[in-house]
């Protein structure tokens, strides 16, 4: 790549990451107003948040195939158009359009979720960790900004909830302009052979690879824990006897404190032969915070509990995305693994908040759900131990074939 091409692709990735969470997190603070506007039940209002996750799960496995046919440049551009259309339909139509626009938005974001790790692998094979760090940090930063900006935009600038949500369409327009130079890129990705020639992507399905399943299980488990905590963290804190204002502050701190981990952990991936040590550190922080969260009954305990959980959360998100590129031999396989892992991951994530809510309804206690969280973190560490091994999908496949012979 020339210097200009490198700058353009980095800018493209950065602005794409801005669009992948903010349009979703922006809804949370405005749900009560949306519910009142369209006379929605609580279940229907909750579905506004769940629908994008279901779209992620449904669409992710097919993105790699579409990208192979049309190229990642056109595929991503189409995804951005869906994001823009979804934001406008969601804000400026009616109750049906609210859900239809949210679905379009989810499909567009799913395309970005899947393709960015593969683009990083394709364009920056020697700097996967550094680029993943930039990507995840930008994504998580705007997730927090989206959650925190909704009310100031709606009330402070007197935009109302519809214009507040539509505000993020301006960001999508800017990203479309920045991404336009990539529109012809990525058609039929090829890789170098050992003799200097060029051949098509490696053969074989990632669904048959053990390491791909470990990456998928790691992605799914961290997604379930994350989205469950996003959904229930403030409620649990209030249940433990603290104020709603403090619970809201902790919810924001949970998002912001994760940023140092999203910045540092992927960068370290480039410097280490394998990532098992990073998995251990991340999961140790996560479970330490979770155990404090289980026992805590005061703000003095709750603050360090949430901060430790946030660092574990940020590290696990970064590792789950880095594993997609690190365990893939090329950009094409990274796209397939990304689709596989994120499909399962977001399906788990959609189920988690509902399941834990049901457990609370039955037990009338949050202790059991928190203990389930702790158990899932142990399982996350187990999956990460295997996903963090220094082996790619194709290498493991070759090794298994040789053993079978």
Q: State the pLDDT at residue 393.
A: 83
- Predicted TM-score of the model (pTM): 0.83
DSSP 78-134: HHHHHHHHHHHHHHHS-HHHHHHHHHHHHHHHHHHHHHHHHHHHHH-TT-HHHHHHH
Selection from 227, 315, 237 nearest residue 269 by Cα:
315
φ/ψ of 362, rounded to 5, equals: -75, -40
Domain with CATH 1.20.1250.20 in the chain: 1-187, 201-405
Asked whether 310 and 229 are in contact (CB, 8 A), the reply is no
- Tell me the CA distances in angstroms from 269 to 74, 131, 141, 224, 266, one per residue in order: 30, 11, 21, 23, 5
Asked whether 351 and 246 are in contact (CB, 8 A), the reply is no
Beta bridge partners of 191: 199
Radius of gyration for the alpha carbons in the chain, expressed in angstroms and rounded: 21
Q: How far apart are CA 161 and CA 30, in angstroms?
A: 7
**b/e 218-232 (16+ beta carbons within 10 angstroms → b):** bbbbbbbbbbbbbbb
- Residue 96 CB-half CA count within 13 A: 0
Q: How far apart are CA 234 and CA 247, in angstroms?
A: 5
Instruction: Read off the tokens for 265.
Output: 């952990």
Q: State the pLDDT at residue 235.
A: 85
φ/ψ of 200, rounded to 5, equals: -70, 170
Beta-strand (E) ranges in 137-268? Answer: 190-192, 198-200
Between helix 210-239 and helix 393-404 the angle, nearest 10°, is 130
φ/ψ of 89, rounded to 5, equals: -65, -45
Q: State the pLDDT at residue 193.
A: 41
- Sequence-ordered alpha helix ranges (H) in 275-366: 276-295, 299-326, 331-363
* Contact partners, residue 310, CB within 8 Å, separation at least 6: 253, 254, 255, 256, 257, 258, 261, 289
> What are the 10-residue block averages of pLDDT along the chain, 405 residues in total?
89 95 84 86 77 90 90 95 97 93 95 93 89 92 86 86 94 96 68 40 72 94 90 87 87 90 91 92 97 94 96 95 90 88 85 84 90 96 95 65 50
CA 129 from chain centre, in angstroms, equals: 16
Considering all CA atoms of the chain, what is the largest pairwise distance in Å, rounded to the nearest integer?
70
Between helix 42-70 and helix 331-363 the angle, nearest 10°, is 170
The architecture in CATH of the region 201-405 reads: Up-down Bundle (1.20)
Q: State the pLDDT at residue 53.
A: 87
Quick one: fold of 1-187? Growth Hormone; Chain: A; (1.20.1250)
Instruction: Read off the tokens for 352.
Output: 């988690």
Selection from 274, 339, 333, 284 nearest residue 312 by Cα:
284
């Amino acid at each position: 790549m020339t210097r200009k091409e490198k700058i353009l692709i980095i800018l493209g990735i950065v602005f794409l990451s801005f669009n992948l969470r903010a349009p979703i997190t922006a809804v949370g603070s405005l749900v009560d107003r949306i519910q009142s506007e369209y006379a929605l039940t609580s279940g229907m209002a909750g579905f506004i948040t769940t629908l994008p996750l279901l779209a992620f799960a449904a669409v992710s496995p097919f993105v790699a195939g579409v990208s192979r046919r049309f190229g990642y440049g056109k595929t991503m551009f189409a995804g951005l158009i869906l994001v823009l259309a979804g934001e406008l339909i969601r804000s400026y139509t009616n109750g049906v359009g609210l859900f239809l626009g949210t679905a379009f938005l989810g499909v567009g974001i799913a395309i970005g979720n899947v393709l960015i790790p593969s683009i990083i692998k394709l364009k920056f094979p020697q700097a996967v960790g550094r680029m993943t760090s930039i990507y995840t940090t930008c994504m998580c930063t705007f997730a927090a900004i989206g959650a925190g900006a909704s009310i100031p935009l709606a009330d402070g600038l007197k935009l109302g909830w519809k214009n507040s949500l539509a505000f993020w369409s301006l960001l999508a327009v800017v990203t479309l302009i920045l991404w336009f130079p990539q529109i012809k890129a990525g058609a039929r990705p090829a890789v170098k052979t050992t003799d200097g020639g060029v051949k098509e992507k490696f053969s074989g399905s990632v669904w048959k690879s053990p390491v791909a399943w470990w990456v998928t299980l790691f992605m799914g488990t961290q997604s379930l824990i994350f989205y469950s905590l996003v959904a229930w963290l403030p409620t649990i804190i209030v249940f433990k006897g603290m104020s709603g204002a403090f619970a809201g502050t902790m919810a924001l701190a949970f998002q912001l404190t994760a940023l140092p981990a999203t910045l540092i952990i992927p960068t370290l991936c480039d410097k280490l032969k394998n990532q098992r040590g990073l998995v251990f550190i991340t999961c140790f922080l996560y479970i330490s915070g979770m155990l404090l969260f289980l026992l805590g009954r005061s703000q003095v305990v709750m603050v360090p509990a949430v901060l430790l959980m946030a660092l574990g959360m940020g590290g696990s998100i970064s590792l789950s995305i880095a594993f997609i590129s690190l365990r893939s031999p090329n950009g094409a396989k990274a796209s397939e693994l990304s689709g596989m892992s994120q499909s399962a991951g977001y399906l788990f994530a959609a189920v988690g908040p509902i399941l834990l809510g049901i457990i609370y309804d039955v037990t009338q206690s949050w202790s059991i759900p928190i203990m389930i969280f702790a158990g899932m973190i142990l399982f996350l560490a187990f999956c990460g131990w295997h996903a963090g091994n220094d082996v790619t999908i194709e290498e493991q496949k070759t090794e298994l074939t040789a053993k079978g012979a």
